Homo-oligomer: A and B are copies of this chain.
Amino acid sequence: MERVKTGIKGFDDMLDGGFLPETANLVEGAPGTGKTTLGMQYIYNGITQFDEPGLILTFEEFPAQYYRDGASFGWDLRALEQAGKLRVLLISPEVSVRDLAQVGGVIERAARDLGARRVLVDSLSHFERIVDDPIELRKLVYGFINGLKREGLTAIITRESDALFGESLSGEGDVAFLADSYTLLRYVEIESAVRKALIVLKLRGSNHAKDIRQFEIAGQGLEVQAKFEGHEGIMSGSPHRMAQSFVEAFVRDRR
């Protein structure tokens, strides 16, 4: 099956090749876990490795912030924008929803001008904050997602997590039920340091890795690494070494 590769080391393998085309892919994390970096890297790699132009919809930060953040990884987003491969749009969530619902809106035009195949929506939390009623929110997000799919776009949609460590409660009517895939970025305390974990919980229409993997944000962006070993309770953010490894250490010594 055709896949939309992220080009992120290790992540495409977890996704059994990449995202499925024309899907909405949720990426959730606490401040500093790297949601936006992952999204930018997906857009940047799309353009530079797979020749798929991309769109960044931002509801809060100015484009300059993305240029600056990208630059720190050696990604010259401004140049890509000037080359007609990328467009960073600062828009309000309300406007973006109405815009996508109409023919010939700003987003549609930008997508068509670029021949965009990918989009980063940064972040879904801005939708969650403008609508209190969970039914309204679901409808709005569903409409927005379908609008993106209609344009032939494969989206990464970021979401802010309330809790620094462990699970943040999503409340009634979680929009994660609507997403085609659901990836969590988490802080994990291991040996008196704060590491990062990436988990793919859901990938509609495909197999995916179930491992809880370590990842780092280095000079080139995200790198997904080996799974954690010998720990229990990683998803809580505060794992402990497993009794099993204790036993093994013990037993090894006795022989």
- The answer to whether A32 and B189 have CB atoms under 8 Å apart is no
A103 interface residue per 8 A CB criterion = no
A249 interface residue per 8 A CB criterion = yes
Assuming the A-B contacts A31-B182, A206-B72, A241-B242, are A170 and B162 also in contact, with contact meaning beta carbons closer than 8 angstroms in the complex?
yes
- Determine the chain B residues whose CB is within 8 A of the CB of A164 once the complex forms: 167, 170, 184, 201, 235
- Determine the chain B residues whose CB is within 8 A of the CB of A241 once the complex forms: 232, 242-244
A98 interface residue per 8 A CB criterion = no
- The answer to whether B235 and A165 have CB atoms under 8 Å apart is yes
- The answer to whether A129 and B125 have CB atoms under 8 Å apart is no
- Chain A interface, number of residues (Cβ within 8 angstroms): 82
Label chain A's interface by main secondary structure: mixed
As for how many copies of this chain the complex holds, the number is: 6
List residues 120-135 of chain A with CB under 8 A from any CB of chain B. 125-126, 128-130, 134-135
Interface string of A243-255 (1 = CB under 8 A from B): 1111101110111
14 CB < 8 A contacts A-B: A31-B201, A61-B142, A69-B205, A72-B204, A160-B173, A162-B171, A162-B174, A164-B184, A164-B235, A189-B234, A193-B210, A194-B199, A235-B237, A249-B251
Known pairs A241-B243, A246-B247 / 14 extra A-B pairs, C-beta < 8 Å? A31-B177, A32-B201, A130-B135, A162-B170, A164-B235, A189-B212, A189-B232, A191-B242, A232-B239, A233-B240, A236-B238, A240-B242, A243-B245, A254-B254
